[in-house]
Amino acid sequence: MKTIATRKTALLIALLATFSTGYAVHDHIGLPGAHASSQTLPPVTAAPSRGAASIPDFSDIVAANGPAVVNISVSGTMKVAQPELPDFGDDSPFPDFFKRFAIPTPHGNGRIPKQGQGSGFIVSPDGVILTNAHVVADADEVIVKLTDKREFKAKVVGADRITDVAVLRIDAKNLPTVKIGNPQEARVGEWVLAIGSPFGFENSVTAGIISAKSRTLPDEGYVPFMQTDVAINPGNSGGPLFNGKGEVIGINSQIYSRSGGYQGLSFAIPIDVAMNIEQQLLSKGKISRGKLGVTIQEVNQGLAESFGLDKPQGALVSSVEPNSPAAKAGIEAGDVILKFNGQTIDRSSTLPALVAATQPGSESHLEIWRHGKTKMITVTTGELTDLASAADKSLTARGGKLGLAVRPLSPSEKRAAETEHGLVVEEVADGPAARAGIRPGDIIVSVDGHPVDGFDQLRSRIEHAGKNMALLIQRDGQRLFVPIKIG
């Protein structure tokens, strides 16, 4: 499972039970139509009995959908941190010494074998499968196993790291499929169940309720997660979340946990978000997201009173990017966005996902609050190239002339680094950059004195460089020039 760790402390509790008090998010664990199954199951209802509801029977849902849930095994390599060793020079015998004793050096590739398991589900009878992007990340081989024990080598059609959705395809026909539901109709307190392969136990079923909707997690602002108390464990990644009608309404993705296992907080990617990614990857091979070009913040009670709102609501615009779609439409700092294309913005975290889901170049209608009055503004949505295509740009850059995978800095990263320019290094492969000591996390500010802000700009500078070039990088708040030999 993908893990976002927080502070961990230990607390000994009586009755022989030992728990850790820290929390972590573990395990970052596709539209109806041709993909939808024609089979419709009756709703699962709980018959009242003296004021109490009985637990529903999910057996029909499991029998109908279990064959469409698959186990995914991956193998490949992953990059590991290398020790801080000096550059011994070309004539030194020490690099051979470290290589002989299997100690990574600055010239080594710093990669180790990786194996993992996850879950997925079939959305098209011709072999299209949805899972999590992190399940297949860095995979050299992906094997899909069906419930009838057949195994297929899968092709990764595409993966979107931002939403953590991946699309696979296997060479098979007439496969069982799931029925796609509408997560917008899901209600808090509604029964849901998950089918997956926790800890490798294939087609395990767990059930619970929807605890909340439209949750925003750290660094996950473009997915309005559904929170449930369904037991989700390592290996459930990418498996389906069903409603009581036997429809998939989410992809199980993350858990909050004390121990790495189920603790009652799990999160699922709404299936409409996933199916949008699936359609774009299958039709265009890439992901496009809408952009306004604003920085927003939450409206609390004090701000609501200051702006004359009757209650805390909406997304407060704290800044507007120059020449952005928002700036061209007349949106100003201090505006409070109350609705986006008719959908109410109760919390600021709701807005990014709605904007990202719009097609670049389309018109979006905003209801804003300005100077004590509501105002309607129409915006021609731009394309979120600085973040939406970051994963694709990184993959394109890998193995290039420098051996770097890079992405643009987000606005918050620029503020933290106190820079207006730069590309952050995501990965360093074998090549000139690795030999020069460039590390993941470094910010490339300029090339030969020319500031860089985008991947294409960096590539152009590299192509026009001679045998030597100088990168100005920022590392731990300090800037230094790094000479690189590329001849």
CATH number at residue 240: 2.40.10.120
Q: Is there a domain that residue 144 lies in?
A: yes
Let me know whether 4 and 142 are in one domain: yes
The tokens describing 239, both together, are 């498996």
The tokens describing 439, both together, are 């590390």
Q: Tokens 């961990």 belong to which residue?
A: 8
Q: Is there a domain that residue 97 lies in?
A: no
Question: What is the spatial distance between Cα 214 and Cα 352, in angstroms, rounded to a whole number?
Answer: 11
Other C-beta atoms closer than 10 Å to the C-beta of 184 total 10
260 contacts 26 by C-beta, under 8 angstroms? yes
Let me know whether 346 and 436 are in one domain: no
Q: φ, ψ for residue 89 (rounded to 5)?
A: 95, 160
Question: What is the spatial distance between Cα 477 and Cα 325, in angstroms, rounded to a whole number?
Answer: 32
Let me know whether 234 and 339 are in one domain: no
Let me know whether 171 and 150 are in one domain: yes
Question: What is the spatial distance between Cα 64 and Cα 178, in angstroms, rounded to a whole number?
Answer: 9
Final residue of a structural domain among 250, 285, 320: 285
Is beta strand 179-180 parallel, antiparallel or unpaired with respect to 247-257? parallel
- Global pTM reads 0.64
The larger pLDDT score, comparing residue 474 to residue 93, is at 474
The larger pLDDT score, comparing residue 389 to residue 354, is at 354
Q: Is there a domain that residue 226 lies in?
A: yes
Reply yes or no on whether the pLDDT at 339 is more than 90: yes
Reply yes or no on whether the pLDDT at 481 is more than 50: yes
Reply yes or no on whether the pLDDT at 104 is more than 80: no
**What was the pLDDT predicted at 89?**
61
Let me know whether 159 and 183 are in one domain: yes
The tokens describing 31, both together, are 């539209």
Reply yes or no on whether the pLDDT at 5 is more than 80: no
Going by C-beta distance under 8 Å and a sequence separation of 6 or more, which residues neighbour residue 314? 299, 336, 337, 338, 345, 346, 348, 369
Q: How do residues 364-414 score in pLDDT, each as one tens digit?
A: 999 999 999 999 999 999 987 644 344 333 333 333 567 777 778 777 777
DSSP string, 394-445: HHHHTTSSS-EEEEEPPHHHHHHHT-SS-EEEEEE-SSHHHHHT--TT-EEE
Final residue of a structural domain among 268, 285, 302: 285
Other C-beta atoms closer than 10 Å to the C-beta of 417 total 16
Final residue of a structural domain among 256, 285, 314: 285
Going by C-beta distance under 8 Å and a sequence separation of 6 or more, which residues neighbour residue 180? 30, 31, 32, 35, 36, 123, 247, 248, 271, 275
Query: Which is catalytic among the residues 28, 35, 37, 164?
Result: 164
Question: What is the spatial distance between Cα 179 and Cα 249, in angstroms, rounded to a whole number?
Answer: 9
Report, as an integer, the average pLDDT of 119-138: 94
Q: Is there a domain that residue 95 lies in?
A: no
Let me know whether 271 and 135 are in one domain: yes
Q: Tokens 């949805």 belong to which residue?
A: 130
Query: Which is catalytic among the residues 73, 134, 257, 446?
Result: 134
**What was the pLDDT predicted at 422?**
85
Q: Which of 113, 127, 387, 130 is nearest to 250 (CA)?
A: 130
How many independent structural domains does the chain possess? 3
The larger pLDDT score, comparing residue 350 to residue 368, is at 368
Let me know whether 176 and 267 are in one domain: yes
Q: Is there a domain that residue 108 lies in?
A: no
Q: How do residues 315-329 score in pLDDT, each as one tens digit?
A: 999 888 888 999 999
The larger pLDDT score, comparing residue 102 to residue 379, is at 379
Q: Which of 320, 291, 293, 317 is nearest to 303 (CA)?
A: 317
Query: Which is catalytic among the residues 119, 237, 253, 364?
Result: 237
Let me know whether 174 and 253 are in one domain: yes
Let me know whether 323 and 271 are in one domain: no
Report, as an integer, the average pLDDT of 456-485: 80
**What was the pLDDT predicted at 40?**
45
Let me know whether 299 and 429 are in one domain: no
State the CATH number of the domain containing residue 403. Answer: 2.30.42.10
Question: What is the spatial distance between Cα 170 and Cα 157, in angstroms, rounded to a whole number?
Answer: 10
Angle at 480 between CA 429 and CA 473, to 5 degrees: 45
Q: Where are the alpha helices (DSSP H) in 66-189?
A: 94-100, 133-136
What is the sign, positive or negative, of the torsion defined by CA atoms of 202, 205, 208, 212?
positive
Which of 38-52, 76-90, 185-199, 223-237 shows the lowest mean pLDDT across its residues? Answer: 38-52
Q: How do residues 22-53 score in pLDDT, each as one tens digit?
A: 334 444 443 333 333 434 445 555 444 444 55
Q: Which of 109, 132, 94 is nearest to 2 (CA)?
A: 132
Let me know whether 198 and 322 are in one domain: no
The larger pLDDT score, comparing residue 337 to residue 100, is at 337
Q: Is there a domain that residue 50 lies in?
A: no
Q: Which of 375, 369, 376, 377 is nearest to 305 (CA)?
A: 369
Question: What is the spatial distance between Cα 45 and Cα 292, in angstroms, rounded to a whole number?
Answer: 43
**What was the pLDDT predicted at 108?**
46
Instruction: State the residue range of the domain holding 320.
Output: 290-383
Q: To the nearest 10°, report the CA torsion of 323, 326, 331, 332.
A: -50
Let me know whether 69 and 193 are in one domain: yes
What is the sign, positive or negative, of the torsion defined by CA atoms of 230, 235, 240, 245?
negative
Going by C-beta distance under 8 Å and a sequence separation of 6 or more, which residues neighbour residue 455? 393, 396, 397, 406, 407, 408, 423
**What was the pLDDT predicted at 38?**
39
**Is 257 designated active site?**
no
**Is 134 designated active site?**
yes
When the pLDDT of each residue in the chain is averaged and rounded to a whole number, the result is 79
